[in-house]
Amino acid sequence: MEFKAICKAVIQDVEGVKTFVFKSKNKLSFEPGQFVSLLLPGSNGNIVRSYTISSAPTGSDLFSLTVRAVPEGLGSNWLHNELHAGMDLSFSGPFGHFIPSQNEDSKLLLLAAGSGITPHLSTLRHWRNQAAEVNAHLIFSVRSPDQIIEQQELLALVKQIPGLTLTVIPENVTGHVWHGISGRLDPLWLNALVRDIKEREVYICGPAPYMAAVKEYLTGCHFDLQHYHEEAFVSPEQPSVNQHNNDSTSYKVNFARSGISVNSNGNESLLEIAEKAGVAVKNACRSGICGACRTLKTAGSVNMQDLGGILPDEVNQGMVLLCCSQPSSDVVLDI
C-alpha cells in the first residue's frame, strides 16, 4: 500500500538516534515488527529506504520510526538533518514477517543490538497496550550504557508486562557507573542467561555479524532453527551488494514489454539495471524482503539472494526479485 504521512514531531533519543512521529491520512494497520519504506530526496534523484516501525499498532493514524544516523547513510542522514515537523513524505508498506508469537504458551527470546531494538520496542509497547502476559526474555546489547535507546520506557515496560525479563549488556562501560554484566554477548553469557534456550522461539534484530554469531552458537548447540527468526536488515543504507563478477563477461538484459535491451557485466542488480535503462519497476525495501519488485523472468538465469520476499512456488513459476538478483546469463524480463 502506498500512502502519504506528515511528520508531526522529531524527538532526540540517545546520541545519533532520533524518533520521527508521523500522521498518515488514513489509519495505518500494521503488526509489531513490520517496516515501511520511504521515498526520500537524494542528491541524484529520489531514493527508497526502509525502517522498522517502533510504535505499537494502535489502529490510529500515528506511527513512529526510530532511526540511527549511519555514517555515509543517505537515508538516515537526510532524516536526521532535513526532516522536520510539517513535512510530507511518501511511504509504502507495511511489510515484513518479523512478528513475534503472542501465543500465551510461547516462550520467547528477543535479542537486539543497537537500533535493532526498534521492532522489539513495537512488540513490547503492543504487549503493554494489550495487557498481555508473556514468557519473554529481551537481551539488548549496546555499545555503552549511554546508548540504551528508550531506556526509561524499557525499564517501565518490564514493570508493566508480566513475564518480561530485560537484560541490557553494554559492550564498553569505561567512564560509566554500571553494575550489570558487560562485554559482548557470547555463548557463555547466552547459555547462562537463558538456560532453557532450546525451548524458546528466538527473534533477533541487529547488525549482520551479531546475528551471524548468535546463529552460529545456536547451530552449534543443535537449536532447531525453525524457531529462529531474524530481521534481516536494520535501516539498510546501501543497495544490496551480491557477488562480484571479476571477468569481462557481458550479459544482455532484455526488458521485453518496454522494448529495451541493455548490457550488464553482472555486478549490478536487475533493479539497478532497469532504473539506469529507464524502465520503471515498483520497489520498496530493495533488500529482497517485501516482494514489491517481483517480476516474471521468461528466459535466462540469475543469482538471487532474497531474504524471504518470494515464495518457492513463485520461483518455480519463473518469478524473480529484481532488487537482489544479478544476471548470470542473458536474461529476458516481462516488463
Residues in touch with ligand FES (CB under 6 A): 283-286, 288-293, 309, 321, 323
User: CA-CA distance, 139 to 25, in Å (whole number)?
Assistant: 36
Complex with ligand FES: residue 137 or 286, whichever CB lies closer = 286
C-beta of 92: minimal distance to ligand FES in Å? 9
User: CA-CA distance, 130 to 164, in Å (whole number)?
Assistant: 14
Complex with ligand FES: residue 119 or 291, whichever CB lies closer = 291
Complex with ligand FES: residue 53 or 321, whichever CB lies closer = 321
Backbone angles phi, psi at 264, to 5 degrees: -140, 145
C-beta of 190: minimal distance to ligand FES in Å? 31
Cell 513490547 sits at which residue?
124
User: CA-CA distance, 242 to 326, in Å (whole number)?
Assistant: 8
C-beta of 162: minimal distance to ligand FES in Å? 37
Complex with ligand FES: residue 164 or 321, whichever CB lies closer = 321
The residues that bridge with 11 in the sheet, in sequence order, are 19
C-beta of 325: minimal distance to ligand FES in Å? 9
Complex with ligand FES: residue 100 or 291, whichever CB lies closer = 291
C-beta of 89: minimal distance to ligand FES in Å? 18
Nearest Cα neighbor of 166 from 111, 129, 102 is 111
- Cβ proximity of 33 and 122 under 8 Å: yes
Complex with ligand FES: residue 147 or 269, whichever CB lies closer = 269
User: CA-CA distance, 299 to 333, in Å (whole number)?
Assistant: 7
Complex with ligand FES: residue 111 or 271, whichever CB lies closer = 271
C-beta of 289: minimal distance to ligand FES in Å? 6
DSSP state of 32: T
335: helix, coil or strand? coil
DSSP string covering 163-206: TEEEEEEES--TTS---S--S---HHHHHHH-TTGGGSEEEEES
The residues that bridge with 164 in the sheet, in sequence order, are 136
Spatial CB neighbours of 189, under 8 Å, sequence gap ≥ 6: 169, 181, 183
CA distances from 31 to 55, 134, 206, 228, 267 (A): 10, 17, 19, 19, 35
C-beta of 275: minimal distance to ligand FES in Å? 12
C-beta of 44: minimal distance to ligand FES in Å? 19
Q: In a 10 Å sphere around its CB, with 0-12 CB exposed, 13-18 middle and 19+ buried, how is residue 209 labelled?
A: exposed
C-beta of 240: minimal distance to ligand FES in Å? 9
Complex with ligand FES: residue 253 or 323, whichever CB lies closer = 323
Complex with ligand FES: residue 34 or 147, whichever CB lies closer = 34
For the sheet with 135-142, list strands across it.
164-170, 135-142, 107-113, 201-205, 228-231
